[in-house]
């Protein structure tokens, strides 16, 4: 059975130090740079995933409501129209929410409200 030595263990990303007396607060010390995804990439990713969801809703909704022959082409067009709308709205909402969170350094209802207002202006 292999012996476990302290030198073979991976270094933890975060370790805690106690400074001064034990009644003092514990502070977090990190040695790594934390990468934050740019808000443009966040918005684009949300737009792509929203487009996929919009296509499914548009295609399925048209397919169910119009059960006549030759509806596959029309259902595909309906799915594409929904995909465009969903991608713009979802991407814009996520992008503005990310931007507001970085600007204000808070994640609260004000960010969601500003994102909703910006999305509503596009409508």
Q: Are 94 and 42 spatial neighbours (Cβ–Cβ below 8 Å)?
A: yes
Give the residue with greater pLDDT, 74 vs 119: 119
Q: 27 in helix, strand or coil?
A: strand
**Would you place residue 30 in the very low, low, confident or very high pLDDT band (cuts 50, 70, 90)?**
low
Q: For the chain, what's the residue count?
A: 123
Burial of 97-122, coded b for 16+ CB within 10 Å and e otherwise, reads bbbbbeeeeeeeeebeebbeebbeee
pLDDT in tens, 35-81: 788 999 999 999 999 999 999 999 988 888 877 666 788 888 889 99
To the question of pTM greater than 0.75 for the whole model, the response is: no
Contacts of 94 (CB under 8 A, 6+ apart): 42, 43, 45, 46, 47, 115
Confidence at residue 97, expressed as pLDDT on a 0 to 100 scale: 94
């Amino acid at each position: 059975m292999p012996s476990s030595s302290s030198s073979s263990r991976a270094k933890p990303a975060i370790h805690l130090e106690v400074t001064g007396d034990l009644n003092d607060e514990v502070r977090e010390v990190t040695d790594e740079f934390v990468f934050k995804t740019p808000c443009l990439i966040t918005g684009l990713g949300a737009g792509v995933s929203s487009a996929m969801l919009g296509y499914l809703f548009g295609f399925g909704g048209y397919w169910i409501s119009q059960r006549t022959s030759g509806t596959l082409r029309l259902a595909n067009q309906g799915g594409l129209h929904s995909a465009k709308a969903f991608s713009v709205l979802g991407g814009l909402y996520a992008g503005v929410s990310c931007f507001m969170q970085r600007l204000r350094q808070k994640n609260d209802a004000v960010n969601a409200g500003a994102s909703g207002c910006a999305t509503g202006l596009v409508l």
